[in-house]
């Protein structure tokens, strides 16, 4: 509905594809919020190429991300589902924002520090990644951005950039140039940890696939990953920072059941870790199975997916164009 506030979010088509952390920290909440907001869900393929991607794999994963959004419950009749690279205004606004983003701000970004520490050839796109992300959001006058905990710092930059652009180029205008967005981080599940190293966040591009449960994993693979999940030797099922592995499993249960992690712990009182892992695996398998089946179905119907992507990109472009023209005019570009 046009009168509803605007929601924007996206996931990169990278690594092994969408995983449990993306689902619990982000996509699940998109589905919940989709009735109350005018939503745009983007496959952020321009962000994906900030690290080297194999072209055929990028294409496959991009389709799969779109299929996964729909399979998780996004209704493409109500919400836009599109490729970032299909709307050139993302790259255009990103440039205008990059020129208003300070080196110091980007240097402080923990995602850049973490990712650049791993690689040898660090592209400048990895450094300016947050300005592109701000462009994604600000292009649509977005009010709310549902993401996991790790994106909080990027969202703060997007807010700062909106305020800066408004003050610099539209201080006397009746209406602000850009809406200052709010972040939405879920109370539980905003930071799902790796099953093989519960001190590290679960990630779809982790070198060790044992720590990550992918949307497309088979039931047997999911069961195996949970069986091998790293816990501790305390032999106590409780929610405690001293037991990050156990806490992570209880958090996963909590997101699915809607009970608090403490209640999930109490339900397993006196039981061993095998039971805790088995119960968690069971819940995750039941949650992901119908989603996986739907993704397979959708991936077999590229005509349908292409239709959704085309329609959504056209609608998104028309909306993006309005912001781009206003920003360019305010900055002093000659109008066409
Ligand atoms: P990559 O490892 O390829 O950088 P990623 O797994 O960190 O990717 P993103 O595409 O960067 O995933 O993130 C998509 C969304 O999923 C974001 O909203 C992000 O905050 C959320 N997210 C990512 N990892 C987790 C996690 N472990 N727990 C909860 N939410 C997460
Ligand atoms: N940087 C995000 C992905 C992303 C995003 C966005 C999320 C790119 N643009 C706009 C929300 C809104 C990540 O999860 N790594």
pLDDT per position as a tens digit, 1-21: 458 999 999 999 999 999 999
Q: Which residues are catalytic?
A: 115, 201, 204
Average pLDDT, the chain: 97
Cβ–ligand 1 distance for 11 under 6 Å, the answer yes
**Could you give the 3-state DSSP secondary structure of residue 16?**
coil
Q: Which ligand approaches the C-alpha of residue 191 most closely?
A: 1
Cβ–ligand 2 distance for 44 under 6 Å, the answer yes
Q: Is the pLDDT of residue 268 over 80?
A: yes
* CA of 12, closest atom in ligand 2: 3
pLDDT per position as a tens digit, 83-108: 999 999 999 999 999 999 999 999 99
Cβ–ligand 2 distance for 138 under 6 Å, the answer no
- Mean pLDDT calculated for residue range 263-292: 97
Q: Which ligand approaches the C-alpha of residue 151 most closely?
A: 1
pLDDT per position as a tens digit, 170-199: 999 899 999 999 999 999 999 999 999 999
* CA of 194, closest atom in ligand 1: 27
Nearest to 220 by CA among 284, 300, 298: 284
Q: Among all chains, which residue has been given the structure tokens 């949650």?
A: 287
What torsion do the CA atoms of 193, 199, 201, 205 make, to the nearest 10 degrees? -110
pLDDT per position as a tens digit, 221-232: 999 999 999 999
Q: What is the pLDDT of residue 283?
A: 98
* CA of 47, closest atom in ligand 2: 8
Q: What is the pLDDT of residue 100?
A: 98
Cβ–ligand 2 distance for 157 under 6 Å, the answer no
Q: What is the pTM of this model?
A: 0.97
pLDDT per position as a tens digit, 32-64: 999 999 999 999 999 999 999 999 999 999 999
* CA of 44, closest atom in ligand 1: 10
Cβ–ligand 1 distance for 195 under 6 Å, the answer no
Q: What is the DSSP letter of 182?
A: E
Q: What is the pLDDT of residue 24?
A: 98
Check: CB of residue 256 under 8 Å from CB of residue 222. Answer: no
Q: How far apart are the first and last CA of the chain?
A: 31
Residue 10 CA, ligand 2 centroid: distance in Å:
5
The band of 119, judged by pLDDT with boundaries at 50, 70 and 90, is: confident
The protein residue with its alpha carbon nearest to ligand 1, atom 25, reads 21
Taking each continuous run of H as one helix and of E as one strand, the counts in the chain are 14, 5
**What percent of the chain is modeled with pLDDT above 90?**
96
Q: What is the pLDDT of residue 2?
A: 56
Residue 239 CA, ligand 2 centroid: distance in Å:
30
Cβ–ligand 1 distance for 147 under 6 Å, the answer yes
Q: What is the pLDDT of residue 91?
A: 98
Q: What is the pLDDT of residue 336?
A: 84
- Taking the CA atoms of 308, 65, 128 and 26 in sequence, report the sign of the dihedral they define: positive
Q: What is the pLDDT of residue 316?
A: 98
- Mean pLDDT calculated for residue range 310-319: 98
Check: CB of residue 200 under 8 Å from CB of residue 194. Answer: yes
pLDDT per position as a tens digit, 244-261: 999 999 999 999 999 999
Measured in whole angstroms, the distance separating CA 189 from the mean position of its chain's CA atoms is: 13
Residue 29 CA, ligand 2 centroid: distance in Å:
14
Cβ–ligand 2 distance for 7 under 6 Å, the answer no
In the chain, what are the domains? 6-190+302-331 (3.40.50.620), 209-296 (1.10.240.10)
Q: What are the angstrom distances between the C-alpha of 259 and each of 111, 168, 184, 255?
A: 31, 47, 20, 8
* Residue in 8, 22, 45 to alter for ligand 1 test, most ligand atoms within 8 A of Cβ: 22
């Amino acid at each position: 509905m046009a009168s509803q506030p605007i929601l924007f979010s996206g996931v990169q088509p990278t690594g092994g594809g969408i995983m449990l952390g993306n689902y619990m920290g982000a996509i699940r909440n998109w589905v919940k919020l989709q009735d109350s907001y005018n939503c745009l869900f983007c496959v952020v393929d321009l962000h994906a190429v900030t690290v080297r991607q194999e072209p055929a794999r990028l294409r496959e994963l991009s389709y799969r991300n779109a299929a996964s959004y729909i399979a998780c419950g996004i209704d493409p009749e109500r919400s836009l589902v599109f490729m970032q690279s299909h709307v050139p205004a993302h790259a255009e606004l990103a440039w205008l924002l990059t020129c208003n983003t300070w080196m110091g701000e980007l240097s402080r970004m923990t995602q850049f520090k973490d990712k650049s520490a791993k690689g040898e050839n660090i592209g400048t796109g990895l450094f300016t990644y947050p300005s592109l992300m701000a462009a994604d959001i600000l292009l649509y006058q977005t009010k709310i951005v549902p993401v996991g905990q790790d994106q909080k710092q990027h969202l703060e930059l997007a807010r700062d950039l909106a305020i800066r652009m408004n003050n610099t180029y539209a201080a006397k205008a009746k209406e602000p140039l850009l809406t200052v967005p709010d972040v939405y981080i879920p109370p539980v599940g905003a930071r799902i940890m790796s099953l093989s190293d519960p001190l590290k966040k679960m990630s779809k591009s982790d070198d060790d696939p044992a720590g990550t449960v992918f949307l497309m994993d088979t039931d047997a693979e999911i069961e195996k990953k949970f069986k091998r999940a790293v816990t501790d030797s305390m032999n106590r099922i409780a929610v405690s920072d001293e037991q990050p592995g156990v806490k992570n499993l209880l958090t996963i249960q909590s997101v699915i059941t809607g009970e608090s992690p403490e209640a999930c712990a109490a339900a397993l009182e006196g039981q061993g870790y095998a039971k805790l892992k088995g119960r968690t695996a069971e819940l995750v398998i039941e949650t992901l199975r119908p989603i996986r089946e739907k993704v397979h179905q959708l991936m077999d119907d590229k005509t349908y997916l292409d239709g959704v992507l085309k329609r959504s990109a056209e609608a998104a472009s028309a909306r993006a164009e309005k912001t781009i023209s206003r920003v360019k005019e305010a900055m002093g570009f000659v109008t066409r």
